[in-house]
Amino acid sequence: MIYTVTLNPAIDVSLFVKDGLAAGRINKSYGMNAEAGGKGINVSKYLKALGVESVVCAGFCGTDGERLQDMLKDEFEVLSVTYPSGNTRTNIKITDGNGITTDINGDGPVYDKASVELLKTSVSGRLTSGDTVVISGRPPHGSPSDIYADLIRSLSTVEGVKMILDCSGEFLLEGLKAKPYAVKPTCEELGFADDVETALREAARIVSEGVTHCIISMGKNGSVFAGVDSVPVYSKALDVDVHCTTGCGDAMTAGLAYAFETKMPSSDIFAMCVAMASAEAETEGTKAPSKERIMELVDAVRFCGQ
């Protein structure tokens, strides 16, 4: 089973405008979607499109938290806790006719140690060998920098559980010290500009320090992959009709979880992740692409060695 941990979930409201977003003026939207969001929840949505079930593990707060749980309960099994203060976020995503997305992210809940500990206990009590846990996104305000490192170490005590980490900043740096099974940072999150050679070196370094698989995403500039049993490789971004870039990174993370759950060979993991991100780029908002389209794009991925 796959468990996706989202400590700071959101309601994602996607708006679409025909031309570029004009600051200081009235912009007319021709479409709107409101969906359950947050990086881990997005991963669960993309996994479901692939026919793989997952358990959503999240913390909620306030009236919007209740609304978000209602949005999720018919689609997923949910393990939840309630934070005592703050808000469940509402995020606004505005995409123009060129596929460029502007994100306005709302405020979130305040970190509560007891709530996070309760969620951790709920998840650990369910884990068995071979399960995958995805930890994604920025945690609540006031969270300690090692919050994800602690989750990784605690949940990894169940033998054979694969931990995937997708976050940024101090949470990424501390999380890497706990040696998750796989990570999916961007160049910016690692502190350097998009550059293939640098990304290849960094991916190899991260793997050499105890991570089994590492993907470094560079958006339209492609991505790199390194694994303990494969040489670092680079893939250009696929030439697809981009409608919205929001969720592409989460789709790539879902590709990792899908690959581990279905026991894909290492040679196929990266192609699956690139195809997932590309298929999502073709899709408006954070709606999941079809499995058929994802598998079509897997065959289009081409790699270049170091």
Has residue 285 got a pLDDT over 80? no
pLDDT digits (tens, 9 = 90+) for 123-176: 999 999 999 999 999 999 999 999 999 999 999 999 999 999 999 999 999 999
- Pick 16 or 98 by higher pLDDT: 16
In this prediction, residues 258-272 reach a mean pLDDT of 92
Reference 66, options 9, 114, 151, 140; nearest CA is 9
**Reported confidence tier of residue 14, pLDDT bands at 50, 70, 90:** confident
- 171-214 pLDDT, tens digit per residue, is 999 999 999 999 999 999 999 999 999 999 999 999 999 999 99
Contacts of residue 221, defined as CB under 8 A and 6 or more positions apart, other chains included, come to 194, 196, 237
Residue 145 or residue 98, greater confidence: 145
Residues 6+ apart with CB under 8 A from 94: 14, 15, 16, 17, 21, 27, 29, 101, 102, 103, 104
Largest pairwise CA distance in the chain: 56
Average pLDDT of every residue of the chain? 92
CA distance 163 to 155: 8
- Listed residue (125, 114, 120, 143) closest to 57, CA to CA: 120
Average confidence (pLDDT) over 248-259: 95
Q: How far apart are CA 48 and CA 58, in angstroms?
A: 17
Q: Is the pLDDT of residue 229 over 70?
A: yes
pLDDT score of 289: 86
H/E run at residue 76: none
Higher pLDDT, 33 or 174: 174
Give the pLDDT of residue 4. 98
Across 97-121, average pLDDT: 91
Average pLDDT value for residue range 29-36? 86
DSSP 8-state assignment for residue 262: T
At 31, the amino acid letter reads G
- pLDDT grade, residue 306 (50/70/90)? very low
Most confidently modeled range among 111-120, 184-193, 230-239, 278-287? 111-120
β partners of residue 216: 224
Give the whole-number percent of the chain exceeding pLDDT 90.
69
Q: Output the pLDDT for position 265.
A: 87
